[in-house]
Amino acid sequence: MIRFLPLAVLIATPLLARDPRIATRLYNPSDIVTVHGHTGIQSTIEFGDDEHIDNIAIGDSSSWQVTPNKHASIVFVKPMMTSARTNMTVVTDRRTYLFDLVATPVGTPLYVMRFTYPPNPRPVVAIAPPAAPTQLTPQVAEKTPETTPADLHFDWATSGSKQLLPMRAFDDGKSTWLAWPKDASMPAILQREPDGQEGPVNYRVQGDYVVVDGVPPQLVLRQGKLVATLAPALRRASDPPSPAGAQTASARP
């Protein structure tokens, strides 16, 4: 015999619902993630198990308290004022995260934010990589852009920790191409603004290269306490490409 539960019992049974104070976001380097905070409430931001925080920059440190944990995998944020808004950039040894920190006296505060990650990089729709200049080895020639050597500039100056510097660095006037050894850990890539502030860059992975959008006046590479910089030589529109024998980042010892 089939027995039916009274309607009142069904209505009284609580439904399982996700707690709105706990959020999960799919990581996208182009997204700006908003963190809603309340005074007296601490919010926790968790990053990937395989990455560690290298640098945290906040626009207004007087109105927000920001503290990483000992293992540099979690950040605790707490507003110090009832209404406050600023931005925060977190650079790890694998990714760059952009946040808006918003404190309001109303609404639901965030307790925990966790990130999930795509299993593979998004496919890049682009022209075939430029052909390697004559001074590169045949193996590299198969994976560099399909342009002539006259289109490429190798006159990039480098300084800082050699451990972070790429083994090849050049640009085609529109993008900057960087390549590290396959067994090397890629550092965080930032660009230094004219006012001295450092910010994230847009880049994609194409073959063995990290391709940075545009030709920044200075790139900053960071990994832990190690720092290195790369900068293109000053050029005029009529300047010829650097000669094959010139010393560049692609031929550093």
What confidence category does residue 147 fall into, taking pLDDT thresholds of 50, 70 and 90? low
Task: Provide the β-strand partners of residue 115.
Answer: 25
What confidence category does residue 120 fall into, taking pLDDT thresholds of 50, 70 and 90? low
Tell me the two tokens of residue 199. 């910010």
Tell me the two tokens of residue 6. 């009274």
pLDDT at 208 over 50: yes
Tell me the two tokens of residue 160. 């800082």
Letter string b/e over residues 103-121, b meaning 16 or more CB atoms within 10 A of that residue's CB: beeeeebbeebebeeeeee
- pLDDT at residue 198, as a whole number: 85
Sign of CA dihedral 209, 213, 218, 222: negative
pLDDT at 193 over 70: yes
Q: What angle do CA 33, 37, 43 make, to 5 degrees?
A: 80
Sheet holding 168-171, edge to edge: 168-171, 175-179, 209-213, 203-206
The model carries a pTM of 0.44
The distance in angstroms from the start CA to the end CA of the chain is: 84
More confident: 178 or 144: 178
- pLDDT at residue 107, as a whole number: 81
Helix/strand/coil for 150: helix
HSE (CB half, 13 Å, CA atoms) of 168?
Answer: 22
